[in-house]
Structure 1
């Protein structure tokens, strides 16, 4: 496995919609290993394949490793079935837009289906920081970044700060 170069905004790959991937693809295991290696090396909590220039519908998350034991999770071909619950606004950070946290409003609970590495179709309900991280990474698979969650005025100001 390897630490890969992170793509930084405004790299066009970050605005592209990713394609489904076959869980039986023999190269998928190496990609997932590289995603985790890159995630941990960069100090993040989630990382999607397009952030390392791979346009596959795959992301990894580990929201606990900084405070305790690792809890690595892999999501292949995820589909958001339902986002519900009260929406909450929190500052989010993105490894592809470093050092620029910005507020993002998201539902606090979601239901997701995805493929496991063995091809089994999974389903689960997530809440709290894990739900937020999953939604953030799912955005990446759909060509969306946290700038896209801002009002036009706030986005312009944040992009100007980022470019400085």
Structure 2
């Protein structure tokens, strides 16, 4: 099932997630929904809080967005930054307007997590996968990539978001709402 991807400045994106204590059928379904949503949005990663669930679950597939051949799902992922610092241009499905910025990330990481069968996963990642993992694990801490940019760039972006929200089409009020407000 395709899920709605929350958009900044939704406050639910800033909530730190809880560990998953038991891998249930509901968690497996959430992971499947997240993967389907990520692919539909042409993303390469998605974290549970981006679809309104505050648990430590991420899906990534850096073979995409075209190929979709290497889906990985991680429960309760933890990262150890093991490499040199590199500059990486990032965007995010939860950051509207196609905004991208250059961040400094580690070029290699060590990930420890569980898979959907409860098996322990320990892997080293580099390049795009390392950057993607850092980006998605940040979401689990309630952090968006725009939280890492300079104050000036953030202020400019926030102004852009306010303008987009102001110019967004507004839904027509329902008959009940028109009656309550006195609108006709």
| Shorter-chain TM band | over 0.9
Contact 2:88–2:131 (Cα < 8 Å) also in 1: no
Contact 1:93–1:101 (Cα < 8 Å) also in 2: yes
Match status 1:25 vs 2:63: no
Which of the pair has more CA radius of gyration? 2
Match status 1:162 vs 2:161: yes
* 1:12, distance to aligned residue in structure 2 (A): 0.8
Match of 2:94 in 1: 96
> Which SS does the other structure have where 2:36 is aligned?
helix
Structure 2: stretches of 5+ with no match in the other structure: 164-184
* 1:158, distance to aligned residue in structure 2 (A): 2.0
Higher relative contact order (CA 8 A, sep 6+): 1
Contact 1:100–1:162 (Cα < 8 Å) also in 2: no
* 1:67, distance to aligned residue in structure 2 (A): 4.4
| CA-to-aligned-CA distance 1:89-135 (integer Å, 9 cap, x gap) | 12200000031111111010001100111111111110000010010
Match of 2:173 in 1: none
Aligned pairs (5 A) from 1:55-70? 55-68=54-67, 70=69
Looking at structure 2, the residues matched to 68 and 26 of structure 1 have their Cα atoms a distance apart, in angstroms, of 27
Structure 1: stretches of 5+ with no match in the other structure: none
Contact 1:60–1:72 (Cα < 8 Å) also in 2: yes
Match status 1:136 vs 2:153: no
Write 1 or 2 for the structure with the bigger share of helix.
Answer: 2
Contact 1:23–1:76 (Cα < 8 Å) also in 2: no
RMSD: 1.2
Match of 1:45 in 2: 44
Contact 1:111–1:124 (Cα < 8 Å) also in 2: yes
> Which SS does the other structure have where 1:85 is aligned?
coil
Distance verdict in 2 for CA 1:68–1:6, change over 3 Å: closer
Aligned residues: 162
Contact 1:23–1:117 (Cα < 8 Å) also in 2: no
